[in-house]
Structure 1
Amino acid sequence: MSSQQYADGGSLLNWPEGFDRTSPEKRESYPHGFRVSQTAAFDNILDGLQKMDARNVQVRTAAPHTAKEPHRPYANRNPDDPGVVVYFEKDGQQFAVPCDRWDNLRDNAQAIASARSALTARSLRTNSPSQ
């Protein structure tokens, strides 16, 4: 699949190289029911990355984002391409974290926030002294 995919309204979500896209027919609803709003899911991404001291955080989707909170797409937007890509810098390195496994923006955003949270917890366990 191409590294770029057309989305609703002709906007384009640039997908980072080296990451495969999920084909639209394989996307499904998240089966365990994230219990957060779309706004909270996108805020969770930003909050988690701020706790990691990440810099230059950019959250991209095919939906238009608000000017006041540029990491958030407008509420109730459901573009044809539900993918979410988060770009950030940490310790002088650039990172991209994409997700398009699920069929809506909220679930893909919350999946990124949850994965980041799990990685941080794992890092803390790995780096803590043995008892």
Structure 2
Amino acid sequence: MSDATLDWPATFEQTDPTERTRNNRYEASLRTSIDDVAAELKRVGVDDWRLSTAARHQKQNPRYPYANASPTDPSAVVRWTMDGEQYAVACDAYSRLRDNVRTLYLYLREKRKMEQRPVVTGESEFANARLPPADESAVAAPAPADEPHEILGVAPDAPDAVVRGAFRELVKERHPDHGGSEREFTRLKRAREVMLDD
């Protein structure tokens, strides 16, 4: 039985196969670890998620690889949607698929616990798992590129202090923490960088 195709996020680095190690600390089976991943995601309100591995998955139960799965590539990726955003976590540090899936479960559990703490932070604990728009499955066509000075609303030859001031004012309303989008915030940062580099 040949391996399936792993859906590794394009922006994530992968471990060199020669650097993968064997993990003897986990005793849980692959199935138990997948069930634990499902339970953690359910606790944070995620209904729709999928596990991607290079192993062939069961047709009737697509979240589970076949019991004798031993793919050439032991990497595992969990992808989900939450509040309209795409998320993914991946692990390929270990030489066995079950250890990589177990590590993903432990990571998700810790993130969920941190999310429940009564501590206020700038973003959700899961923010670092949010995928950039280019890696989402359905991405809208990019808007035509405006000139950096147009994005910031300044003259093409504006002094650095004016560029910085315009950026600060725009960020107040367009930063993701203030109701703006990550895409627009990134666009502002790039425009500022280009203007300040000139």
Q: TM-score range by the shorter chain?
A: 0.7 to 0.9
Residue 117 of structure 2: which of 89, 105, 125 is its match? 125
Residue 21 of structure 2 corresponds to 28
Shift of 1:114: 0.4
State how far apart, in whole Å, the 1-side matches of 2:60 and 2:119 are. 37
Conserved? CA contact 1:15–1:98, under 8 Å: yes
TM-score by length of 2: 0.57
Residue 4 of structure 2 corresponds to 11
Shift of 1:14: 2.4
Shift of 1:118: 0.4
State how far apart, in whole Å, the 2-side matches of 1:102 and 1:126 are. 34
State how far apart, in whole Å, the 1-side matches of 2:57 and 2:4 are. 12
Residue 45 of structure 2: which of 46, 53, 65 is its match? 53
Segment drifting more, 22-31 vs 109-118: 22-31
Residue 63 of structure 1: which of 36, 55, 63 is its match? 55
Shift of 1:9: 2.3
RMSD: 1.7
Larger strand proportion of the pair? 1
Residue 184 of structure 2 corresponds to none
Residue 98 of structure 2: which of 94, 106, 123 is its match? 106
Shift of 1:10: 5.2
State how far apart, in whole Å, the 2-side matches of 1:94 and 1:55 are. 13
Matched pairs, number: 120
Q: Structure 1 regions of 5+ residues with no counterpart?
A: 1-7
State how far apart, in whole Å, the 2-side matches of 1:10 and 1:47 are. 27
Higher RCO (CA 8 Å, separation ≥ 6 residues) = 1
Q: Structure 2 regions of 5+ residues with no counterpart?
A: 121-198
TM-score by length of 1: 0.84
Conserved? CA contact 1:82–1:104, under 8 Å: yes
Task: Give 3-state SS (helix, strand or coil) of 2:50's partner.
Answer: strand
User: Over alpha carbons, which structure has the higher Rg?
Assistant: 2
State how far apart, in whole Å, the 2-side matches of 1:62 and 1:85 are. 10
